[in-house]
Amino acid sequence: MKGLLAKKIGVTNFFDQNGDSVAITVVEAGPCYVTQIKTIEKDGYNAVQIGFLPKKKKHTTKPLLNHFTKADLEPLKVLKEFKYDNYKELNLGDVLKADIFSVGEKVNVSGISKGKGFAGVVKRHKFKGGPKSHGQSDRVRAPGSLGQSSFPSRVYKGLKMAGRMGNSGVTIKNLEILKVETDKNLIFIKGGVPGPNKGILEIVKR
């Protein structure tokens, strides 16, 4: 299996083999359950759908309840597909844990970044701001000129302006796994990963 769904636990320090302190993110990867296997013959592509985190039946729709019943599983909160050509190795209801990863392996981690709300251009796009002199003391954090002269007399689409910041999909590539605790399904990843604590992540082998 190439990847797992996980939950971000938090950030701490870790001492590597050289005794150096390294910032790491602790992630709970699994247990995940195989809820569906897709094949080229039936669906047009090979993939495995897995589920993560338990969910109450009363909060689950009837179509999803039937979906989980086919795999002989209790309802799960998060479902995600992973492309996987060796799908014949897996069966419905199989449990996938953190032991699919190993120390030193490189992974890509995807998640939803922290929402910052409405932000100006200095915070959102790292603008420098205007000068505090020449009668501009009230325009320090303003974006400045947005348009052109008499032509085309409009603001182009896609210009960097103030607006909603964060709460968007982010993928950080090539992160190294420093430690794996298989009994607790914990993975220690070097550096930071997207999102807040308890946020859902997708971890994929490179």
Q: Could you report the per-residue pLDDT of 129-142, keeping only the tens digit for each? A: 888 888 877 888 99
Instruction: Show Cβ contacts of residue 67 under 8 Å, excluding neighbours closer than 6 positions.
Output: 35, 36
DSSP 161-182: -SEEES-SEEEEEEEEEEEEET
Domain shared by 140 and 63, yes or no: no
As for how many domains the chain has, the answer is: 2
Q: How confident is the model at residue 14 (pLDDT cuts 50, 70, 90)?
A: confident
Domain shared by 80 and 178, yes or no: yes
Average pLDDT of the segment spanning 179-199? 93
Average pLDDT of the segment spanning 112-122? 95
**C-alpha–C-alpha distance, residues 85 and 160, integer Å:** 41
Domain shared by 43 and 92, yes or no: yes
Q: Could you report the per-residue pLDDT of 162-171, keeping only the tens digit for each? A: 999 999 999 9
In the prediction, which pLDDT does 8 show?
96
CB distance 193 to 11 below 8 Å: no
Backbone angles phi, psi at 3, to 5 degrees: -155, 175
Residue span of the structural domain in which 123 resides: 117-147+157-165
Identify the residue with better confidence: 152 or 12: 12
**For residue 106, pLDDT beyond 80:** yes
Domain shared by 58 and 136, yes or no: no
3-state secondary structure of 93: coil
CB distance 191 to 172 below 8 Å: yes
Q: How many CB atoms lie within 10 A of CB 141?
A: 14
Instruction: Report which of 53, 90, 94, 87 is spatially closest to residue 71, judged by C-alpha positions.
Output: 94
Domain shared by 137 and 84, yes or no: no
Q: Could you report the per-residue pLDDT of 58-83, keeping only the tens digit for each? A: 999 999 999 999 989 999 999 999 98
In the prediction, which pLDDT does 190 show?
93
Instruction: Report which of 204, 203, 200, 178 is spatially closest to residue 12, judged by C-alpha positions.
Output: 178
Give the percent of the chain with pLDDT over 70: 100
3-state secondary structure of 204: strand
Instruction: Report which of 86, 78, 87, 89 is spatially closest to residue 33, judged by C-alpha positions.
Output: 78
Average pLDDT of the segment spanning 4-8? 95
